[in-house]
Structure 1
């Protein structure tokens, strides 16, 4: 008897045609965080591509699920049978009308044109069967020919009438062929044994009945025919054995490859989660640092503050429409360890002067050094709207907080009650042609906390000093001007005395 190799089906064939869950099947675009969550895949978290609707109403990308398996909804945990999964064409049309921007360049357009843009400009090609993307047409073709589990192929039993064209059918028929071959092999072995036994019985009877040459030649021909049939059968079975061994090895290799991909996918997910958390923390810290830097750059520590107000036209419009009636300045200090204060401007007036005057107020704020500072705060504060021309016709107003009111006491909250100048500047000034106080839609207000009781006649000089001078230089010039005023005053007094 001739021996036969009995092929064994590898269990890896059951996963050959299962789609890898690591495929990122959705559309990747810029600013995806601004898109409504209903347009995002629950698995890949990208914009849905070929949305499949589950029985619970949630959507998943076609490329993110294995359509021959039941699906466990990641959001509500309801199970949808494979036969119940359907493509939502109406929802897909709604998605493709979304405005989007390319994550690789500055392209803008609707989502339905996005894939064409990726292929033409960035050479990113997509497999229509599994939604995986590639950087060239060559790798895409290799994927469809050798790797893609969703490519439609004809069943190997097509010559015998099978018209199926899916991967599951092919795997099922491979299994059937394996079982049939094994059983067929046993059948052929039994038939061969019966033929040989019949031959053993026939030869003696033929020899006994007749010893003629014709009868011997007939028996010999029968033996030769049987031997030829056995050889043909053996060759066919050997060929089938080789084919099944190759298929089993290919299926086993693919199964191992999928296991590696799944492991890499899990590690990648953990890495992405860690990276996202870190990025969120860094962005928050960066935002806080930017805010602190902006405050630091505009903060002064010598009791003076130059407040630059840009886009003043827009600010006055917002105040007139009561969209935003007031603006706070940055905090400024009397010294590095001194009082913390700020100003508040009403561009179109407060509740008492709305529509007639621009109002301004001074606010004492709570600081870490308040326990050792002297209160009530009773120093005069001068506001000066700067004339940006050579005329230097500044508008100067001075106020002193009321020592009996909350505005000058030690702060218990973040801010005390403001001390206001409701009629700081008449609004008609800003309506004049060639208004000297606003240039390039910007105006400047200088604020001075007077700790030295400067004479009122000296304030125009102080406010006209170059803001670019260092504090000690400004203080020296002010001191010199005070001494000059004193000399002039003394000379005038002496002259008056002589006249009398």
Structure 2
């Protein structure tokens, strides 16, 4: 995993595997106290006779454990960026390598049009320039129909474009018209197009240029009339045969109609028989219902006779219940009499209770307002980042771009993010239809310093390196990015005196044609990432 890396300081032998002599990869410690790569140990165990190359002790797979201390020390080793040969001068701990490569502008990436044929490979920071100016498969507009066409396919398109200028292929003299007009001309007007005689359906075999057709019609009029007469005779014969066939079909239809009427009569007779059967079934159902009622009544009488003893017991219980109810009514009357005599006392207590209830209602209202304010603050905190990194998801791109184009909503602000819990407060601002020099052609992306709760404890002006990124939603390697260090003299990076400073960033961040092409726009959504360097910050 780490074999091809260049280390800033000479590599200590304790970080090298005794088997492969490379830096330890997933270090494991054995019973003899030496460290090895996990991969090297597994290969040795598979051979069946594993010995430590240092002290020749036999190694056992059951006496191997993960060396977390060595892992942490190796991850702290300082390395050069693998893109050093391409111009990157970063020196960083090994543990930060993966995140750095995701942002390094010197990482070699492929063109997003690779599937169409572009096999170019270049540093990430040149991707935008390649897509806008160099790629042979970038979208360009046809000068005739304005349709977006990949540059490499433009010649093929021009050979077929219906709006391209052309002339009559027959050389009749028609020039400087569109290909659409040439097609219409060949169909209707060109005198050199070969056409058939208008009497070809009657038997004329003449084929010639449209300009010769009129002369042919004049010379062959008698012949055409004879062809028409013969054609009419054939039509009359065909008409007579059709009438005869139609008469036969009519006769068959009459026979079928008679058959249908007979079947309708039979169906009506059967329906009457079914109705009679339904009447008989209804009568039988009534008889069954009467018999069922009689049987039920008989069972009830039998049950009543069998439980006379239970009825006597229930009568006794009923008398006892009535006596209890009478006693309860007397007690209730006494209570009501006492209540009417002490009406003043009860009304005073009721008034005091109502006052307390009103006070409690007011307190509940105050608590509801406070809870709503706290809920809003929690929602903001839940989406906030405190490590100097903002990941901003912008949905409904098409609608928001339209709002920006029409002037309804020119720009969008992201949620706030912070360099730490007590650090700088910041946000991003995007103009989907561009701002300034990029208006109408580019997406403009800016960084904004906001007024925070701990500004009095922070060093000013703001000096941290800022990286703005448009994320690739396909392979995740072709992000478009731009990095800058703040100008200490700019008012954009002084301590804020209002809610936020003037935005600073890239009016020409990326062209709209690149944004709206795969893989940066998917499901009508784009992702923007802002990274603020925090490694050299000291907390307040």
TM range (shorter): 0.3 to 0.5
Using the size of structure 2 for normalisation, the TM-score is: 0.33
TM-score using structure 1 length: 0.35
Higher relative contact order (CA 8 A, sep 6+): 1
